[in-house]
């Protein structure tokens, strides 16, 4: 069988590899503390589940219009306007998850040989998506700056040129938890305008922050026509398995991307879209409760690591933290899993060797247990 050059440019997902290994150990009876997962350990809010159930009962199970049902596109546009973005329902495509939104965006914007800039460490799928579109990557390393963008703006300036087609910005960030300052985003704007670059702003962790709220990149002067805002329901509303996300941008982008969307996924699941309206409009309390729980766990984990003398820049958002482990982070993570039965993700999977990503979407008891085990195994 012949496989395309594009698919052969892509590695299997490193996070998936760890999860599979952890599942194998569990199947053998091991008690694994899984700090590798990228999903909130909270149930979907009850009112959202009810809305989905009611929509299913009411027969909302057929195809919808390809870009999404009018009510959800309007609710999303309303939310985006509340964030300061000047979008109508026509500027939105609803997708089965933010991952699909990112995939469609990259496929729509990137040609063979186009240059795409990533800020490292970067979520694992960006690289694969760019490679699948035939693009070439230029990477800017934020690790020497404690994962902040503002002190790395000169390096970003060196990396960007008139040849750059696309820049991907993800704040709050997976895997670092960094939230980029307004000054950093203004710097991104200056470079994007100077070199006429389109920017994808992946804001999927927007609701999960512990300090100043992040500003949406498309609200900066000069960014409205060059920003694709991507968001989704997986993280803020604990809806990972429902598969619901979206992207929003200028109408000409929506028109072009809509072709790929209609020829590939047809539409997002009908009753899930109905539940999405409820999630956007009536979940403030559930989101606040979840973020409060994450905030406590973040404090707890930072204190524990600090008392063990482990360096880890403080995250301001999402539910991840990068801790410095060993030069060979891959081996460290394998040892952590095999010897301590603690699952983490090697930083090198995100372009940050020497670190491990810890997800604190787990109870304080289990997080504490994981730190104890890593200390006992001489891994911390
Ligand atoms: N973007 C980032 C940075 C993520 O971490 C994830 C999921 O882990 C996604 C996008 C995709 O989210 P989903 O497809 O579940 O909406």
pLDDT digits over 338-380, tens only?
999 999 999 999 999 999 999 999 999 999 999 999 999 999 9
Q: What does the pLDDT average to over 73-80?
A: 98
Give the ligand 1 atom nearest the CA of 123: 3
Strand pairing report for 92-95 and 245-248: antiparallel
Please tell me whether residue 28 adopts helix, strand or coil conformation: coil
Do 116 and 229 belong to one domain?
yes
Grade residue 155 by pLDDT with cuts at 50, 70 and 90.
Answer: very high
The alpha carbon of 307 and the centre of ligand 1 are apart by a number of angstroms equal to: 32
Domain that holds residue 306: 5-44+285-376
Nearest Cα residue to atom 7 of ligand 1: 38
204 touches ligand 1 (CB under 6 Å): yes
In a domain? residue 56: no
CA of 378 to the centre of ligand 1 (A): 33
- CA 287 to chain CA centroid, Å, is 17
Helix (H) or strand (E) holding 14: helix 14-27
Q: Which atom of ligand 1 is nearest to the CA of 202?
A: 1
Q: Ligand 1 centre and the CA of 226: distance in Å?
A: 22
Give SS3 for 317.
strand
CA distance 34 to 367: 9
Q: Which of the listed residues 281, 299, 317 is the one where a domain comes to its end?
A: 281
Report which ligand 1 atom has the smallest distance to the Cα of 101: 14
Cα(78)–Cα(84) distance, integer angstroms? 10
Q: Is the CB of 94 under 6 A from ligand 1?
A: no
Using one digit for the tens of pLDDT, what is the confidence trace for 242-264? 999 999 999 999 999 999 999 99
How many whole angstroms from 230 Cα to the centroid of ligand 1?
10
Residue 15: predicted pLDDT? 78
Give the bridge partners for 358, in sequence order.
321
Rounded Cα–Cα distance for residues 172 and 153 (Å): 17
Q: Whose CA is nearest to atom 6 of ligand 1?
A: 99
Is the same domain home to 252 and 105? yes
**DSSP assignment letter at 209:** B
Residues 6+ apart with CB under 8 A from 380: 305, 308, 310, 371, 374
Residue 266 and residue 290 share a domain = no
Q: State mean pLDDT over 104-109.
A: 98
CATH code for position 190: 3.40.640.10
One domain for residues 237 and 128: yes
The span from the CA of 174 to the CA of 88, in Å, is 28
214 ligand 1 Cβ < 6 A = no
Output phi, psi for 289, to 5 deg.
Answer: -60, -45
- Asked whether residue 203 falls in the same domain as residue 260, the answer is yes
99 within ligand 1 shell (Cβ under 6 A): yes
**195-242 pLDDT, tens per residue?**
999 999 999 999 999 998 999 999 999 999 999 999 999 999 999 999
Question: Are both 143 and 168 inside the same structural domain?
Answer: yes
CB 254 within 8 A of CB 92: yes
Whichever domain contains 38, its CATH number is 3.90.1150.10
Cα distances (angstroms) measured from residue 49 to each of 46, 187, 246? 5, 41, 20
Q: Identify whether residues 72 and 201 lie together within a single domain.
A: yes
3-state helix, strand, coil in the chain (%, to 5): 50, 15, 35
- Spatial distance between the Cα atoms of 327 and 276, rounded to a whole number of angstroms: 43
104 lines ligand 1 (CB under 6 A): no
Tokens of 255: 């028109």
CA of 97 to the centre of ligand 1 (A): 7
Q: Is residue 361 part of a domain?
A: yes
**Domains in the chain, number:** 2
Last residue within a domain, chosen from 227, 246, 281: 281
Domain assignment of residue 55, yes or no: no
| Co-location of 76 and 108 in the same domain | yes
Integer Cα distance of 172 and 11 in angstroms: 25
**Rounded distance from Cα 236 to ligand 1 centre (Å):** 11
User: Could you say which DSSP state residue 11 is in?
Assistant: P
Residue 57 lies in a domain: no
Q: How far apart are CA 216 and CA 277, in angstroms?
A: 21
Q: Are 179 and 317 in contact (CB under 8 A)?
A: yes
Please state, in angstroms and rounded to a whole number, the distance separating the CA atoms of residues 84 and 101.
Answer: 21
Per-residue pLDDT tens over the stretch 287-302: 999 999 999 999 999 9
Provide the ipTM. 0.99
């Amino acid at each position: 069988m012949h496989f395309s050059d594009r698919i052969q440019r892509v590695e299997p997902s490193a996070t998936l590899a760890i999860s599979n290994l952890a599942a194998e150990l569990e199947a053998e009876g091991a008690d694994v503390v899984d700090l590798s997962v990228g999903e909130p350990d909270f149930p979907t809010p009850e009112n959202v589940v009810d809305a989905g159930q009611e929509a299913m009962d009411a027969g909302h199970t057929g195809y919808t219009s390809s870009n999404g049902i009018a009510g959800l596109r309007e609710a999303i546009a309303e939310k985006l306007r509340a964030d300061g973005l000047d979008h109508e329902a026509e500027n939105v495509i609803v997708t089965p998850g933010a991952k699909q939104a990112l995939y469609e965006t990259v496929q729509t914007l990137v040609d063979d040989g186009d240059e795409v800039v990533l800020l490292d460490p970067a979520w694992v799928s960006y690289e694969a998506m760019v490679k699948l579109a035939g693009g070439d990557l230029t990477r800017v390393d934020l690790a020497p700056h404690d994962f902040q963008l503002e002190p790395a703006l000169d390096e970003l300036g060196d990396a960007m040129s008139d040849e750059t087609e696309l820049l991907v910005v993800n704040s709050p960030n997976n895997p670092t938890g960094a939230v980029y300052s307004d000054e950093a985003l203004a710097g991104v704007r200056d470079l994007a305008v100077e070199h006429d670059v389109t920017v994808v702003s992946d804001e999927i962790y927007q609701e999960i922050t512990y300090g100043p709220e992040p500003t949406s990149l498309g609200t900066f002067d000069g960014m409205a026509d060059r920003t694709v805002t991507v968001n989704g329901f997986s993280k803020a509303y604990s809806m990972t398995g429902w598969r619901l996300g979206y992207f929003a941008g200028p109408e000409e982008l929506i028109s072009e991307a809509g072709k790929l969307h209609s020829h590939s996924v047809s539409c997002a699941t009908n009753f899930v879209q109905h539940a999405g309206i409820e999630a956007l409009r009536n979940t403030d309390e559930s989101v606040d409760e979840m973020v409060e729980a994450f905030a406590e766990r973040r404090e707890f984990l930072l204190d524990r690591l600090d008392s063990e003398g482990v360096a880890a820049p403080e995250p301001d958002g999402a539910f991840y933290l990068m801790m410095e482990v060993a030069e060979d982070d891959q081996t460290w993570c394998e040892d952590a899993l095999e010897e301590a039965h603690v699952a983490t993700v090697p930083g090198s999977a995100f372009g940050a060797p020497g670190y491990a990503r810890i997800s604190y979407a787990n109870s304080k008891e289990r997080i504490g247990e994981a730190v104890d085990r890593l200390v006992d195994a001489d891994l911390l």
